[in-house]
Amino acid sequence: MMTPAGLQDEIVSEFQTLVGDLEMTLHYLMELGEKLAPLDASEKTETNIVKGCQSKVWLTASLQGQVIHFNGDSNTAITKGLVSLLIRIFNGQTPQQILDTEITFPSRIGMDRFIGTQRSNGFAAMIQQFKRYAIAFKTLQQTV
Amino acid sequence: MKITSPEILNIRSEFPVLDQQVNGHPLTYLDNAATTQKPQRVIDALTNYYSKDNANIHRGIHTLAERATKAFEQTRTSLAQFIHASEKEEIIFTRGVTESVNLVAASFGKAFIKSGDEIILSGLEHHSNIVPWQLMAEERGAIIKVIPVHEDGTLDLPAYHHLLSNGRTKLVAVNHASNALGTINPVREIISAAHQNGAVVFIDGAQGVAHLPVDVQVLDCDFYAASGHKMYGPTGVGFLYGKRKWLDAMPPWQSGGEMIREVRFTKTTFNDIPYKFEAGTPNIADVVALHEAIQFIQTLGKPFIAAHEGDLLTYAANLLQDIKGIRFFGQAAEKVSVLSFTIDGLHHFDVGQLLDAKGIAVRTGHHCTQPLMERFGIEGTIRASFSVYNTFEEAEALASALKKITEKIK
């Protein structure tokens, strides 16, 4: 299992050739989003919605052994691509690893420039939601 | 291929912001219903004011204060002429339409709206022409009624007449033109029917004033409001026109300096209109620069502006018709230059971002008209809105970008 830091490096190298080409970057993000398994309609509930995003983003999580498994979806293709990247980084990590991870890849590939302020807020809200799940499962692990 | 005339290109050259590359492409600015760009003369007016004339207005006796006051009041005079108000005192400077609605809702509401009174809005309204009335109605026990919207984006006028017929309507608030669909409303008919039934009328002119002829005396509207930034002027400034008989009868809204006649701890008396409604130091620089925006419109003439914008709208609508899965919203015969659409299988946010990657600025979302979006069963649209400085080549750029987006994704 790669570490979150290693996965971020992997993402950075994947996007490296696209830096400076916004259109290609957006299309690649949409491609990645398409590969993400869609959430079942029954999971697209109000409780699973990430608040603070302009698009609709749903995120679910379950504890499998010591690690967390995430599923996510969005009603917009570009955002779904962003969700898929975060899932790639956080999936299969322990709650502590997730809490210790700082998301740095967007600025390293010039992506924070075009994620936009509103989208940036949404992006921050998504990261926060992953960490909230991590806190919840960590607490659960400690109490069991 | 339609060629843009040298005259339009000349007008375009007055707007410095348009001459730039965005994401590696020439900027195609098609978000004019949100805000228009500013001609150099408006930018210069702001700089000149701060460089040469800045002073607080009305009570200063020094030369700069006099110059600033004169420039400030000149805009009031030119606005009064611009919308054909019978006197300049009927023009109140506000921050824009939103503040104007809030002013009328609070002040007119306090004086004239009672429990059980009805307020008619239309299904085409921007949130700013809904929420202040709602808050006031809740406070005063009044009831909000809504004129339904037809499939083509026009208002259901028989339904409107029916709403008026019970005689309980105190106020009707509708827009001159819809920001989301472009529909031009038959405001004369709306106003005259309201008056026959004893109701006053507030017109939100945000999307009207820069494109359509506005003669408040011919319209006979009781209130008309607009925002400077949607008419080539600065942000943060706009106006409220009100008939003197209402403005005189309405209590002050915000209070402080400027709006008073005499202040005693026992009793304060208030200034006459327009100052009664202009508490505090106003937005002098932006008001001064707004004069240049009015001059810009008047020099070109609204018929000239509307004709070019109409040509752009027709041209763009024809080009976009061929886009696979496109669905237009707002098919009224009378429209300002707003083209609102969705594309099957594509979310409007994605389309907006992909267009931005090609340097094309459009608006995506609900356009602050959620009830209207709900009426059509959609979350939002992609909206291209044209201004006098836009070119036919830009309409082509939009169409070809949309074609590429739809081909690539499907």
B160-171 pLDDT per residue, tens? 999 999 999 999
Give catalytic status of residue B221 as yes or no: no
Q: What ipTM was reported for this prediction?
A: 0.88
Q: What percent of chain A has pLDDT over 90?
A: 72
CATH number at residue B109: 3.40.640.10
Residue in B closest to A22 by C-alpha: B357
| pLDDT at residue number B251 | 97
Task: For residue B299, give both structure tokens.
Answer: 């020099």
C-alpha B354, offset from chain centre: 28
Q: Work out whether the CA dihedral B384, B389, B392, B394 comes out positive or negative.
A: negative
Provide the terminal-to-terminal Cα distance of chain B, rounded to the nearest Å.
27
B320 and B289 within one domain: no
Strand partners, B147: B122
pLDDT reading at B263 higher than 70: yes
Domain final position from B240, B266, B298: B298
* Any domain includes B62: yes
Q: Is residue B37 part of a domain?
A: no
Q: Above 90 in pLDDT, residue A53?
A: no
| Cα B184–chain centre separation | 12
Q: Within this chain, do residues B92 and B207 fall inside the same structural domain, yes or no? A: yes
Residues ≥6 apart with Cβ < 8 Å to B373: B180, B366, B367, B379, B380, B381
pLDDT in tens, B84-134: 999 999 999 999 999 999 999 999 999 999 999 999 999 999 999 999 999
pLDDT over 90 for what percent of chain B?
97
Q: Assess whether pLDDT exceeds 70 at residue B308.
A: yes
Would you state the pLDDT for residue A66? 94
Instruction: Please report, to the nearest 10 degrees, the dihedral formed by the alpha carbons of residues B366, B371, B374, B376 taken in order.
Output: -90
Q: Which of B368, B379, B396, B403 is catalytic?
A: B368
Angle between helices B97-112 and B131-140 (to 10 degrees): 20
Contact A78 B409 (CB under 8 A): no
HSE toward the beta carbon, residue B336, CA cutoff 13 A: 30
- SS3 for B35? coil
Chain A interface mutation, best of B27, B348, B353, B368, highest count of A Cβ atoms under 10 Å: B353
> What is residue B278's three-state secondary structure?
coil
What is the predicted pLDDT for the residue at A119?
58
In eight-state DSSP terms, residue B49 is I
Determine, for residues A78 and B353 on separate chains, whether the beta-carbon distance falls below 8 Å.
yes
**Can you tell me the mean pLDDT for B14-39?**
97
Burial class (CB in 10 A: 0-12, 13-18, 19+), B255: middle
On whether both B158 and B19 belong to a single domain, the answer is: no
Which of B23, B347, B408 lies closest to A76 in CB terms? B347
Contact B354 A26 (CB under 8 A): yes
Same-domain status, B141 and B205: yes
Evaluate whether residue B38 is within a structural domain.
no
Interface test with A, best of B22, B27, B347 (most A CBs within 10 A): B347
Rg of chain B (C-alpha set): 22
**B21 part of contact set with chain A, CB < 8 Å:** no
* Cβ distance of A77 and B24 shorter than 8 Å: no
Distance from CA of A115 to the nearest CA of B (A): 9
* Cβ contact, residue pair B409, A30, below 8 Å: yes
d(CA B70, CA B286): 14
Q: What are phi and psi of B169, to 5 degrees?
A: -70, 130
Residue of B nearest to A31 (CA): B409
Between these two residues, A1 and B113, which has the higher pLDDT value? Answer: B113
* pLDDT the model gives residue B410: 57
Domain residue limits at A50: 4-143
Q: Of A19, A23, A24, A28, which to mutate for an interface test with B (greatest number of B Cβ within 10 Å)?
A: A23
Q: Say whether both B280 and B321 belong to one domain.
A: no
User: Sorting pLDDT into bands at 50, 70 and 90, what band is B258?
Assistant: confident
Question: What is the radius of gyration, based on Cα positions, of chain A?
Answer: 15
pLDDT at B329: 98
| B349 vs A contacts (CB less than 8 Å) | 54-55, 76, 78-79
Cβ contacts of residue B195 below 8 Å, gap of 6+? B201, B220
Report, as an integer, the average pLDDT of B177-203: 98
Q: Find, in chain B, the residue whose alpha carbon is nearest to that of A118.
A: B349
Task: Residue B194: name the closest of B144, B92, B99, B121 by CA.
Answer: B121
pLDDT category, A114, cuts 50, 70, 90?
low
Looking at the fold, whether B264 and B306 belong to one and the same domain comes out as no
Q: Which residues from chain B sit within 8 angstroms of residue A120, using beta carbons?
A: none
Cβ-Cβ contacts under 8 Å, A79 against chain B: 349
- Let me know if residue B35 belongs to a domain: no
Determine contact: B6 vs chain A, CB below 8 A. Answer: no
Angle between helices B284-300 and B63-82 (to 10 degrees): 40
CA count, 13 A, side-chain hemisphere, B86: 11
**Nearest beta carbon to residue B349 from set A23, A55, A114:** A55
Residue A54 has a pLDDT of 75
Residues of A in contact with B350 (CB under 8 A): 30, 76-78
Interface touch B350/A78, C-beta < 8 Å:
yes
CA B44/CA B198 separation, integer angstroms? 46
Sign of torsion over alpha carbons B91, B212, B339, B127: positive
What values do phi and psi take at B383, rounded to 5? -125, 120
Cβ atoms of A125 and A50 closer than 8 Å = yes
Q: Do B347 and A22 touch (CB under 8 A)?
A: no
Same domain flag for B117 and B201: yes
Cα separation, B402 vs B91, in Å, equals 43
Chain B residue whose CA is closest to A80: B350
Q: Does B349 touch chain A (CB under 8 A)?
A: yes
Q: How many domains does chain A have?
A: 1
Please identify, among B245, B269, B298, the residue that sits at the C-terminal boundary of a domain: B298
pLDDT at A49: 92
Domain boundary pick from B276, B298, B320: B298
Q: Are B270 and B307 in a shared domain?
A: no
Nearest CA in chain A to B358: A23
Angle CA(A27)–CA(B319)–CA(A76) in degrees, nearest 5? 30
CATH number of the domain bearing residue B329: 3.90.1150.10
Residue B374 pLDDT > 70: yes
Is B39 within the bounds of a domain? no
Instruction: Look at B357 and A23 and tell me if their CB atoms are within 8 Å.
Output: yes
Is residue B284 located within the same domain as residue B318?
no
Of B21-35, B200-214, B259-273, B317-331, the range with the lowest mean pLDDT is B259-273
* B284, part of any domain: yes
**Inter-chain residue contact B347 with A77, CB threshold 8 Å:** yes
Q: Tell me the chain B residues in contact with residue A123 when contact means C-beta distances shorter than 8 Å.
A: none
Pseudo-torsion of CA B96, B97, B103, B105, nearest 10°? -170
> B259 and B135: one domain?
yes
Rounded Cα–Cα distance for residues A86 and A70 (Å): 9
Searching chain A, which residue's CA lies closest to the CA of residue B348?
A: A76
Across the range A93-107, mean pLDDT stands at 94
Q: What is the domain extent for residue B13? A: 6-30+301-409
B363-365: strand order across its sheet: B326-329, B338-343, B381-385, B363-365
Which of A140-144, B116-120, B313-317 is predicted least confidently? A140-144
User: What type of residue is B114?
Assistant: K
Catalytic residues of A: 53
Residue pairs spanning A and B at CB distance below 8 A: 34
Q: Which pTM value belongs to this model?
A: 0.94
Task: Give the confidence band of A70 by pLDDT, cuts at 50, 70, 90.
Answer: very high
**Residue A142: band (very low, low, confident or very high) from pLDDT cuts 50, 70, 90:** confident
Contact A78 B349 (CB under 8 A): yes
Mean of the per-residue pLDDT values of chain B? 97
Do B93 and B220 fall within a single domain? yes
pLDDT tier, A144 (very low <50, low <70, confident <90, very high otherwise):
low
Q: Got the DSSP string for B344-402? A: TTB-HHHHHHHHHHTTEE-EEE-TT-HHHHHHTT-S-EEEEE--TT--HHHHHHHHHHH
* CATH number of the structural domain spanning residue A112: 3.90.1010.10
Q: Would you say B30 and B398 are in contact if contact means Cβ atoms under 8 Å apart?
A: yes
Q: How many domains does chain B contain in total?
A: 2
Residue B314's CB: how many other CB atoms inside 10 A? 14
Whether B306 and B294 map to the same domain: the answer is no
